[in-house]
Amino acid sequence: QMLENQEKTLGKLDQTRTEISSEIKELRLDLRSYLDEKLIKIESDILQIKAKIGLET
């Protein structure tokens, strides 16, 4: 019975590890998308500033 309980515990740990890994991957993708959008906005703002002060790109 003790071995059976250990097997169940290991199974739960394995499942939890898999779930946590999936969550981390999703969060990284979300963060990457957010940062990509912010970078595009920053680059656009820089181009507008350069145009206003007469700098060529």
Residue whose tokens read 């595009």: 40
d(CA 16, CA 35): 28
Q: What pLDDT does residue 15 have?
A: 97
Look up residue 2 and give its DSSP letter: H
57 band by pLDDT with thresholds 50, 70 and 90: low
pLDDT in tens, 1-56: 889 999 999 999 999 999 999 999 999 999 999 999 999 999 999 999 999 999 87
Looking at this protein, which amino acid is placed at residue 28?
Answer: R
CA distances from 13 to 19, 23, 26 (A): 10, 15, 20
